[in-house]
Amino acid sequence: MKKLTYFIDKGNGDYEPFYEYTVPSVGVDELYARQLCTYFIMRGRQYQLVSNEMEGEDDILVLQEIGRNVTSANEFGFRGKGLHIEIRKFREEENYKRLALIPCKTHFDIIRYLLKDVVDVPGSGQMMMTSTEIDEDRGVYVIYVKELGEAES
């Protein structure tokens, strides 16, 4: 893989190029981690992944714009402070409470979490993953979780 390009699905077969990452400006491990995120936050807007595609040596993520990104409690910027994963409760009534902050050495450490259905949350035990995001504005990966066996909200 040499390039990862984000496109916005504008509807009616219209796709607008949005953002691009290339190797070696970022590592292949980061490109794979990004592809595992179901949501993408950039410039105060939230996008949902609708398609993950390949074309030759290049990978393509097609996003649908959801709207303005609503901030949650305890949101801090991590840009320039290393790699981090926030684990947050997937409950709007609890303002998506942050349960844990996990510093990571590499994107491979992040990929390990993003691939799981059940993650080990420090201080809370095993929890079911509901969704994942890369928050470009804050420079952090976010995993949303619920209790094992908890019904969908």
In this prediction, residue 153 has a pLDDT band, given cuts at 50, 70 and 90, of: low
The pLDDT of residue 87:
97
Q: How many CA atoms lie within 13 A of 126 on its CB side?
A: 5
**What DSSP string runs through 43-80?**
TTEEEEEEEEEEETTEEEEEEEEEEEPPP-TT----TT
Residue 38 DSSP symbol: S
pLDDT (tens digit per residue) in 89-139: 988 777 889 999 999 999 999 999 999 999 999 999 999 999 999 999 999
Enter the pTM of the model. 0.92
Q: What share of the chain is helix, strand, coil (3-state, %, to 5)?
A: 10, 55, 35
Count of residues in the chain: 153
Contacts of 83 (CB under 8 A, 6+ apart): 103, 104, 105, 106, 107, 109, 110, 141
pLDDT (tens digit per residue) in 35-64: 999 999 999 999 999 999 999 999 999 999
Q: Are 38 and 133 in contact (CB under 8 A)?
A: yes
Token look-up 């984000």 returns 6
On the question of pLDDT at 151 being above 70, the answer is: yes
Q: Which helix (H) or strand (E) holds 31?
A: helix 28-35
